[in-house]
């Protein structure tokens, strides 16, 4: 785990410098997963948000939606149901716009689950 963290952490700055957004986003998602597995939820959120920013700058709505789904799950697991609901809401919006109704349905289930757990209604998304 530590070795994976080190390699991914070293790759990200080089990819940033090259402007290789697809590769940067992929590395950051993997880094987020490694950090989450290590119990570093704050570091995981930070990596997901940077990966999300890269997908948004690329105009990759579906890729961004998948990262929002990952953020929703991370927030949900951490008991932050409001941010989870906002992330699932953003995923649903992007997936609906992309015409992916099956995935949008999954995101909608996330929104509804968060409402059941006391989350406030979706408001603007968490800042990437």
Domain C-terminal end among 42, 59, 76 = 59
**Claim to verify: residue 20 and residue 68 sit in the same structural domain:** no
Assess whether pLDDT exceeds 50 at residue 10: yes
Number of H helices, E strands in the chain: 6, 0
Structural domain containing residue 123: 60-128
- The total domain count for the chain is 2
Which of 79, 88, 81 lies closest to 111, judged by CA? 88
Domain end, chosen from 59, 93, 109, is at 59
Same domain, 65 and 127: yes
Are both 67 and 104 inside the same structural domain? Answer: yes
pTM of the model: 0.88
Same domain, 53 and 75: no
3 pLDDT above the threshold of 60: yes
State pLDDT tens for residues 55-111: 999 999 999 999 999 999 999 999 999 999 999 999 999 999 989 999 999 999 999
């Amino acid at each position: 785990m530590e070795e994976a963290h080190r390699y991914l952490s070293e790759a990200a700055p080089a990819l940033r410098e090259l402007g290789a957004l697809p590769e940067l986003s992929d590395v950051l998602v993997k880094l987020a997963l490694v950090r989450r597995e290590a119990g570093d939820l704050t570091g995981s959120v930070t990596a997901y948000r940077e990966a999300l920013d890269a997908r948004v700058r690329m105009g990759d709505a579906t890729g961004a939606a998948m990262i929002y789904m990952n953020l929703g799950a991370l927030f949900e697991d951490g008991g932050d149901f409001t941010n989870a609901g906002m992330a699932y809401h953003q995923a649903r919006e992007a997936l609906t716009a992309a015409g992916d109704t099956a995935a949008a349905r999954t995101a909608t289930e996330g929104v509804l689950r968060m409402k059941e757990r006391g989350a406030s209604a979706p408001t603007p998304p968490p800042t990437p």
